[in-house]
Structure 1
């Protein structure tokens, strides 16, 4: 274990009460006691002032305040608390209350056996306390098949459970009760939508979110891209901060060996637009992260050691290593992001393609289709694919798609590293759960309600485990400004037309940006493409990938689950550069790095040095 993790292991707050042990980390407000309720807390409370008025407890210790809320409101406490947190409270009657906030929260795992309970966001704390460390290999395959078990109570290890987002778990006398109390708001009717009022309300809530984040960190750095999300957040942070204060902003760039090619409709290097934002705001102290990214599995074993979870999405966030490293170099204690922007203020409104066709909004639909960025297909083809196809039965959709795109007939086979045997068994398990992979049926949502339901379903993934791992490795906490719950819920309550109207996607964010971000950014229709440099990063690693796959061939799980022969052929037949096609690029940029990460994870959990 690295020195950083060893230091971090000495930080978790420990609460011992009878047979219950709670260990929560990454918090400035570890432990509190109120009315006989002992609480451990990690994260933050955004409505602390309001709760202080109601409970009489000072807001400077979130754990103390949380204990007071549970003492006063019992099972309804989490409904009254706004923030991003994981918490555990031991009540005077022996009940253990475990909770996570909606939309965004640190992970919270627990093991309950033989009358003994231990809970922590850190799985290795549970293992150190004697919980069994038996990986669920089926879940690794599910993740590789893009069949995400979002919101599942079963963790990555057998006999270890996790608290879902927007839920609490109560355990008393050996009986466990899970209450999923949170439900996202229903979108308003289009006829009730007032655009000017909505834009003003969104700006106000964004400023509130920025104010809470600025007060939370002593010296934050902002992850600044060239898109609408982070530039709007940066502007809000400047608005709520004293005029004399500067804002450190860090922009990541593609690997130095990137060939400079981008897929139509995208931008790979966001420096030009981020630079415009910095130029327009002298209070922004702009920094560029290092451009030596290394392979997709960079520090993967370190991340797995910190989180103990398998997160193949690490292949998508390698550039963040250098952003965190730069923040640490600058002496910043927190990294503020706008990662939730595509879900909130800058949602593209893609459900409009089906929704407007069904509602007979033909003028609006045709304007959107004609202005669709990076889509050079003729109008009739876009109309058929985006507006008609989603309304057809799933089996017919797949049949028609296979006729138009034979290479996409079986997306799981195309873009995952799984063997035919593993795919077949995984599909059977998924059918039994009533589930399906994220790539198995490529359509946009039919309406705004479907978008909200999907975003809520998918919110509870391993991303926060990865955030917590990065926090441990670099000593820099992360906060996504756009997960401020009042802002999230307001955006979820808006109809599709708020985000896609008059031929304009991301309309809400564009209107919010008037007078706040440079016009070139506000009107830019390109979107950032993460991992645009995949070919440059993977090319030097081909020999290492080939060797690792050869070693995996004899492993009882990896050799059976990965399609080793196909993966090695992808390496042997290496292209000179990306061509952005499904059949050539996507297996290499998606399947290959995820196979390598799976081997690294298995190597970690099984203590095998060869992986």
Structure 2
């Protein structure tokens, strides 16, 4: 970094491709720079007062000075409870800010400026003669990225699901190991989360499956050199190690449903002497992008014949007509209009955040969460986008992704294992943003690019697998701990400040009418999304606030 900075100065950002966060102090110019690359770079926090600016990789580095109080930012708490993280510079602490991903912060004696240097909207168009050339270029990028991310003292491990992304990373890693050593390197170990025994087999989400082990075993049969292992985290609670994560991350996790198995996998990798674990978390916004925005984009472009042809392929006539509004017209509407139409159609998502958030509605109104969300462009009704590139840009630069970096750092600290995502490199993101829409979806078939890339390399069980649902056994784990949750919600209600923030009566009603089986729709429980999402987020947030305030 030092050599590159000397050569390019602030132009270094044109040459960076990796998960990097760094600070440069230029004593000759009396300036300071903080840089975070796009993707998954670790955080940089800062505090500005009249006589100084303090920067650190974690809030504790700022609070260690002793004269800056650690106080919760109430507005950030309120926004986060409705999943609005679009103020990407805010933190969970008063007077502490964060440099966003893809930005360079410049500090001079007379001013502080934040410059966004990376925007997928500026990515150049990528055009080849035919589909095979697109797939070949994409494969070359992915293979190079996987090799770069495998640099470590020992062979990395990998997380592995039944989707298209992590299996593609694993196959590329296996191919590299075979080329590198002729099969003599340490084997690649993969870890797949599976439900613990006793799970009722139900999974939330249309067509989702909760046990992804079948397609993964098919992949292991195709590649016998893969050491595929399955992790059920039997006996673990949903909030296992939550307090440690809060202590290390100094923030409430965005969601705690997957913490138990993610933590177990990293511990198991460390026990095998693997200090790097590969994944494919960014694949949905790059190579396996669904392309579902094509319908609204074609309408915007006035390509009505092409639009009609694509709509013809999306399903049975009834489903086709029902989908025209949501696919074609809804993305063009203001978010509040789209929500009102959903409400008139009786669609739950039209109600917005109240269906999944346990925030006290009076508190939400006092904190003006709706007004702020509208001003920031936060759409909790998921209206969609009118251009594929806009959808990719939002996925790559969402505040939710930003908020998760501190937790990633905490998990790495707990286990000593670094998570790496070859699918999320800058070069890959820009390449994918520049592709024409029909490389992702055509004639009703989506995720075309990754399917062509991996044809003949992934088994049919993976290529045709339905979408998985991680932590599908959440209901089983929570049911086991209901008495403890009752006690925690009671304590929440006994604290006037907590009772002001959270809808404690609603949480108590949920616990008193806890469903006997995994709730997947309103018929199972009218507050099933609070059971699956809202309650755990309320618990994580309340524990974080108590930790900041020095309470148990």
- Residues 344, 482 of structure 1: 8 Å contact kept: yes
Deviations 1:42-86 (A, max 9, x none): xxxxxxxxxxxxxxxxxxxxxxxx112222222222222222111
Counterpart CA distance in 1 for 2:270 and 2:234 is 17
Tell me, yes or no, if structure 1 residue 283 matches structure 2 residue 221: no
Deviations 1:363-382 (A, max 9, x none): 543355218xxxx9633212
Tell me, yes or no, if structure 1 residue 100 matches structure 2 residue 36: yes
* DSSP 3-state at the match of 1:417: coil
Counterpart CA distance in 2 for 1:556 and 1:377 is 51
**Counterparts in 2 of 1:173 and 1:390: CA distance versus 1, 3 Å:** closer
1:201 counterpart (128, 132, 137): 137
Structure 2 equivalent of residue 591 of structure 1? 534
Counterpart CA distance in 2 for 1:377 and 1:566 is 37
Higher relative contact order (CA 8 A, sep 6+): 2
Counterpart CA distance in 2 for 1:493 and 1:431 is 32
- Residues 213, 481 of structure 1: 8 Å contact kept: yes
- Residues 290, 322 of structure 1: 8 Å contact kept: no
Structure 2 equivalent of residue 71 of structure 1? 6
Q: How does 1:195-234 map to 2 (within 5 A)?
A: 195-216=131-152, 218-234=154-170
2:71 counterpart (108, 131, 134): 134
**Counterparts in 2 of 1:209 and 1:189: CA distance versus 1, 3 Å:** closer
Tell me, yes or no, if structure 1 residue 109 matches structure 2 residue 54: no
- Residues 231, 517 of structure 1: 8 Å contact kept: yes
Tell me, yes or no, if structure 1 residue 554 matches structure 2 residue 497: no
Structure 2 equivalent of residue 366 of structure 1? 311
C-alpha RMSD of the superposition = 2.4
2:354 counterpart (386, 398, 413): 413
How much does 1:217 deviate? 5.3
- Residues 295, 328 of structure 2: 8 Å contact kept: yes
* DSSP 3-state at the match of 2:257: helix
Counterpart CA distance in 2 for 1:395 and 1:264 is 25
Deviations 1:119-177 (A, max 9, x none): 22222222223343112021011111111135x22322122221111111122325322
1:472 counterpart (413, 419, 440): 413
- Residues 316, 530 of structure 1: 8 Å contact kept: yes
* DSSP 3-state at the match of 1:282: coil
* DSSP 3-state at the match of 2:310: helix
1:500 counterpart (434, 441, 447): 441
The structure in which a higher percent of residues are strand is 1
Q: How does 1:527-566 map to 2 (within 5 A)?
A: 527-566=467-506
Tell me, yes or no, if structure 1 residue 516 matches structure 2 residue 457: yes
Counterpart CA distance in 2 for 1:97 and 1:201 is 35
Structure 2 equivalent of residue 266 of structure 1? 208
Query: Structure 2: which 5+ residue stretches go unaligned?
Result: none
Count of paired positions: 537
* DSSP 3-state at the match of 2:251: coil
Query: Structure 1: which 5+ residue stretches go unaligned?
Result: 1-65
Counterpart CA distance in 1 for 2:123 and 2:74 is 39
**Counterparts in 2 of 1:385 and 1:175: CA distance versus 1, 3 Å:** closer
Counterpart CA distance in 1 for 2:344 and 2:126 is 36
Structure 1 equivalent of residue 238 of structure 2? 296
- Residues 339, 349 of structure 2: 8 Å contact kept: no
How much does 1:218 deviate? 2.8
Counterpart CA distance in 1 for 2:480 and 2:530 is 18
Counterpart CA distance in 2 for 1:516 and 1:249 is 17
Counterpart CA distance in 2 for 1:189 and 1:87 is 30
Tell me, yes or no, if structure 1 residue 605 matches structure 2 residue 545: no
* DSSP 3-state at the match of 1:266: coil
Calculate the TM-score normalised by the size of structure 2.
0.91
* DSSP 3-state at the match of 1:98: strand
Counterpart CA distance in 2 for 1:433 and 1:146 is 13
Deviations 1:210-266 (A, max 9, x none): 110112453311101111101110111112222322211111112333111234422
Structure 1 equivalent of residue 423 of structure 2? 482
Structure 2 equivalent of residue 343 of structure 1? 285
Calculate the TM-score normalised by the size of structure 1.
0.83
* DSSP 3-state at the match of 1:370: coil
Deviations 1:250-300 (A, max 9, x none): 111123331112344222111111111111112211112243263332211
Deviations 1:380-427 (A, max 9, x none): 212233323333454443232112226444222111001111222344
Counterpart CA distance in 1 for 2:426 and 2:125 is 21
- Residues 88, 98 of structure 1: 8 Å contact kept: yes
- Residues 570, 588 of structure 1: 8 Å contact kept: yes
- Residues 148, 438 of structure 1: 8 Å contact kept: no
1:145 counterpart (82, 91, 94): 82
Counterpart CA distance in 1 for 2:33 and 2:167 is 39
Deviates more, 1:121-130 or 1:362-371: 362-371
